[in-house]
Structure 1
Amino acid sequence: MGRILGVLKIIVPLALGVWLVFYFYRQLSGEHKQQLFDAFGRADMIWLWLSVLLGWLSHISRAWRWRYLLDHMGYHPRFWNCYHAVMSGYFMNLLLPRAGEASRAALLYRREKIPFEKGFGTIMAERAVDLILLFLLTLTTILLQFEKLDLFRERIAGFRADQGTSEEGGWGGLFLAILALGVLSGGYFLATRPALRARLMDTLRGFGEGLRSVTATRHKGPYLLHTLLIWVLYVGMFAVGFLCLPATSSVPWAGILAGFVAGAFGIVLVQGGIGVYPAFVAVIVSIYMAPPVGGGLLRPEALAMGWLIWTAQTLMIIVLGGISLLLISRSKATA
């Protein structure tokens, strides 16, 4: 059963991502499909290269920040070993969901002999801090743009009317049914499998210990500064991508923040964000643009921009992450 669940955790999110790619593409009219491909051809690659640079700098900052928590535990790894472990972790996450955290800690043990559980605990701390910041950014974005919810509902209603879908049932009902099934299944497994309950409690304790290590470090100032820098670079990386197309270059900051949050949840939902990231970004960003000519839910330029940003960042992870994995795997342990 455990092996089946592990396979399903990989296949189901990927299937969802692939389905979304074809679903949203089918919703485009012939004219909109042509506009989509025209947008790819008109993209200003200079802005995409700048977006990639900002994304890479955020990974460098993350490697520096990691060293502060390890230093608190009495370990002093070299920066480049931390950097290569971080990039290798991102690379592994593209192959297997959640494999990046474990491989990152394992690679640091191989190179610096820092115990796996210690390194993994600091990574859990990072995840806890990042989740808190994502939650705060999401809450702020919603509060600042609450009036857009009505417009979003109007766009969805118009799209459903064009598709001949009734307001009741449909995808909303299917989503709620799947959500309820997931909750019930999760509750059943937690109630009947003590090992699974113990694993969940270990994970929650790991988050708690990670947060305590953040508050206990003697490098609180630099740690918080790097945390802020990482998220500023994340948002900047995303915002710069809007400038690669004339149609998206005028999207206001409110739309950029909303699109960023939507894309972030897309990456959390599906391994690597394939299919989901561009779709989520396009749906939200299209609200801040003029409605598509001829109807529809998405602006083709918004969908193209989402794919351009996702592709650029993913290729950066594949190339630089692959190089880091090769280098750190071939290196000998530090004496």
Structure 2
Amino acid sequence: MKQWVQVVLSLAVAIWIFWFLYKDLSIESLMTSIAEVSWGWLGLSIFISLFGFWIRAWRWKLLIEAGENFKVTTGKTLIGLMIGYLVNLLVPRAGEVARCGVLSKTENIQVGKLLGTVILERTVDLLFLALTVLLAFVLEREVFLNLFNDLVSYEVLLQKISSALPLILGGLIVAGIFVYFLFNKYRDSGLIKKLRHFLRDMINGLISVKRVKNQFGFWGSSAMIWFSYYLMMLLVAWAIPSTASLSLSSVLMVMVMGSIGMVAPVQGGIGTFHALVAFILMAYGLTAEEGKIFAVIIHGSQVLTILIVGIVALGIFFKITSQKASKSS
């Protein structure tokens, strides 16, 4: 019951954010903008996203086979991956468990082992997200600072930090000592144990990458996944007249904001993705309406792709499991 309440609440929040963002956008404006879309560029972006799914499935295969003697086909990992994406549209984060369950059924691999590879995947993705954010900051430093100045006066904040530097350093030292003693006192509590296990799993996961036989393939595919995200967003930007003139680094910044929006615990990034993408596009001179339309087109095309491919993958999965059941009976 608690899990279903969380699902319903996250969906309600997503719908509310989406409604609040698009309540003033007329259907006529949206349809006019869709009519102006270059379907060639949009179709190519969908093809690139499909290629990205395949690359992610292939990377997952490398992780599963690391240190093992068995082989897994990329087709089977792709089926599990797409069903996982489909489930994520209904229940946030449940897709990670679902895809492990699917592959466990088709390949007879322990779910626990598969979950370990998914945790490792997410750790590596987090690392590449951080690198992407750093790259965007280097290339679009002025945009970052301008946005920051819109929220807080950079000069005033810097002056206050300089004047209060001894107090800040003293506070950090006291806070560090307090956290150290608090950690030692409650080290056996459930929350601290979960935090320690999470950090330990992340560190062990990164260390276990060395067991992957194809190191170049693993790290190269990880970089290719994020490049495919960028290329997909660039092609959609070219497909829409209002965003066709965005620079390459601007599109990178939009991708970063969209990726942060997708991390939010709501179904498929609904609402949060649209809000952050529209917000950053306004910083590049687009109107609020143009930013919202871009966000809904790129997100809608991806959701539609996941729905279609995910349903096909689900049908293939049911066929495989039924054939296995008939052979065993």
Is the TM value for this pair above 0.5? yes
Greater displacement, 16-25 / 260-269: 16-25
Structure 1: runs of 5+ lacking an equivalent: 158-186, 293-297
Shift of 1:330: 2.8
CA distance in 1, matches of 2:141, 2:311: 42
CA distance in 1, matches of 2:192, 2:121: 23
Match of 2:157 in 1: none
State yes or no: 1:120 paired with 2:109: no
State yes or no: 1:286 paired with 2:275: no
Match of 2:35 among 33, 37, 41: 41
Q: Counterpart amino acid of 2:35?
A: G
Query: Contact between 1:121 and 1:209, CA under 8 Å: does it hold in 2?
Result: no
Considering only CA atoms, is the larger Rg found in Structure 1 or Structure 2? Answer: 2
Task: Give the secondary-structure state (helix, strand or coil) at the position aligned to 2:241.
Answer: coil
Match of 2:232 among 229, 233, 237: 237
State yes or no: 1:52 paired with 2:46: yes
Match of 2:163 in 1: none
Match of 1:138 in 2: 133
Query: Contact between 2:46 and 2:302, CA under 8 Å: does it hold in 1?
Result: yes
> 1:280-319 to 2 correspondence within 5 Å?
280-290=276-286, 292=287, 298=288, 300-319=289-308
Match of 1:215 among 203, 210, 214: 210
State yes or no: 1:327 paired with 2:296: no
Match of 1:108 among 103, 119, 127: 103
Q: Counterpart amino acid of 2:223?
A: L
Q: 1:23 to 1:154 in 2, by over 3 A?
A: farther
Q: Counterpart amino acid of 2:52?
A: S
Q: 1:37 to 1:112 in 2, by over 3 A?
A: same
Query: Contact between 1:266 and 1:273, CA under 8 Å: does it hold in 2?
Result: yes
CA distance in 2, matches of 1:22, 1:37: 18
Match of 1:268 among 243, 260, 263: 263
Q: Structure 1, residues 253-283: CA drift from partner, whole Å, max 9, x if none?
A: 2221111011111111122011221221111
Match of 1:182 in 2: none
Match of 2:155 in 1: none
Query: Contact between 2:33 and 2:293, CA under 8 Å: does it hold in 1?
Result: yes
Match of 1:25 among 18, 22, 26: 22
Query: Contact between 1:256 and 1:285, CA under 8 Å: does it hold in 2?
Result: no
Query: Contact between 1:36 and 1:303, CA under 8 Å: does it hold in 2?
Result: no
Q: 1:323 to 1:205 in 2, by over 3 A?
A: farther
Shift of 1:130: 0.3
Query: Contact between 1:89 and 1:101, CA under 8 Å: does it hold in 2?
Result: yes
Query: Contact between 1:262 and 1:284, CA under 8 Å: does it hold in 2?
Result: yes
Task: Give the secondary-structure state (helix, strand or coil) at the position aligned to 2:89.
Answer: helix
Task: Give the secondary-structure state (helix, strand or coil) at the position aligned to 2:12.
Answer: helix
CA distance in 2, matches of 1:315, 1:205: 37
CA distance in 1, matches of 2:101, 2:272: 29
Q: 1:35 to 1:147 in 2, by over 3 A?
A: same
Of all paired residues, the percent bearing the same amino acid is 28
Q: Spell out structure 1 runs of 4+ moving beyond 6 A.
A: 154-157
Q: 1:120 to 1:329 in 2, by over 3 A?
A: farther
Query: Contact between 2:128 and 2:223, CA under 8 Å: does it hold in 1?
Result: no
Match of 1:61 among 39, 45, 55: 55
> How many residue pairs get matched?
290
Q: Counterpart amino acid of 2:71?
A: H
Q: 1:40 to 1:84 in 2, by over 3 A?
A: same
Q: Structure 1, residues 47-99: CA drift from partner, whole Å, max 9, x if none?
A: 22111111110110111111212222313112211110111111111111111
Shift of 1:137: 0.7
Q: Structure 1, residues 137-158: CA drift from partner, whole Å, max 9, x if none?
A: 112212332211454367779x
Task: Give the secondary-structure state (helix, strand or coil) at the position aligned to 1:95.
Answer: coil
Give the RMSD, CA atoms, in angstroms.
2.7
CA distance in 2, matches of 1:273, 1:308: 14
State yes or no: 1:83 paired with 2:59: no
Please give the TM-score of this superposition, normalised by the length of structure 1.
0.78
Structure 2: runs of 5+ lacking an equivalent: 153-181
Shift of 1:193: 10
Q: 1:234 to 1:200 in 2, by over 3 A?
A: same
CA distance in 2, matches of 1:116, 1:240: 37
Task: Give the secondary-structure state (helix, strand or coil) at the position aligned to 1:81.
Answer: helix
Shift of 1:218: 1.9
CA distance in 1, matches of 2:93, 2:188: 22
